[in-house]
Amino acid sequence: MHIDVYNGPNLNQIGNRSPEHYGITNEMIQQSIERTADKLSVEWDLYQTNYEGEMIDWIHNADADGVVLNPAAWTHYSVAIRDAVSLVEYPIVEVHISNIHNRGEDIEWRDRSIIAPKCIGQVAGLGVKSYELGMRAVHSELENRDD
C-alpha cells in the first residue's frame, strides 16, 4: 500500500508562520509521516506545491492508493481542487494543522472547507498528529475496501 501526502500553498514556510496557530516545522511533519508509515507498513511520499495546477495534476495522476491532502488556503475557495478531488476514486482525507473551526479569528470563511465534502473525512487541529490520523484513516479505508 502506498499513501501520498500533498501539502498546499505556504506550507513549505510552516516553520515561519503564525506559531500561535501552527508551531511546527516541516521536519516534524515529515517525521510524523515517516513514523506512521513504519507503523502501518505502508510506502509514502510527501509533496508540497504553491501552484494550484500542479496540485490538480498530482490529484489526477496520483501514483498512490490513497492521499492525505492539506489544501491550505485552497481549502476555503478552490472549486478546481474540489473538482479534482471529486473525480478520483481513491480515498482522500483532508487534514489541517490548526483547528480551522476554532482559531479565534474574526474571519468568517476560515471554518468553511469546500473540499472536505468530497473527501472521506477531515482531521483538523492536531498539529503533526493530523497527518498521522489522516494516514491512519486512509489506511483503514483502503483495508475496508479490500474486504
110 near ligand DQA (CB under 6 A) = yes
Cell of 75: 481549502
The answer to whether residue 139 is catalytic is no
d(Cα 126, Cα 144) in Å, to the nearest integer? 25
The answer to whether residue 131 is catalytic is no
Do 143 and 65 meet the contact criterion of CB atoms below 8 Å apart?
A: no
- Looking at the Cβ atoms of 35 and 76, the one nearer to ligand DQA is 76
Non-local CB neighbours of 55 within 8 Å, separated by 6+ positions: 6, 8, 49, 71, 74, 81, 84
Q: Which stretch binds ligand DQA (CB under 6 A): 36-44, 45-53, 71-79, 139-147?
A: 71-79
Set 22, 76, 77, 90: catalytic member: 22
Q: Select the residue interacting with ligand DQA from 36, 48, 49, 98 (CB under 6 A).
A: 98
97 near ligand DQA (CB under 6 A) = yes
d(Cα 97, Cα 60) in Å, to the nearest integer? 24
- Looking at the Cβ atoms of 6 and 44, the one nearer to ligand DQA is 6
For 92, the enclosing helix (H) or strand (E) is strand 92-96
Give me the active site residues, please. 22, 96
Q: Which residues bind ligand DQA (CB under 6 A)?
A: 10, 70, 72-73, 75, 96-98, 100, 110
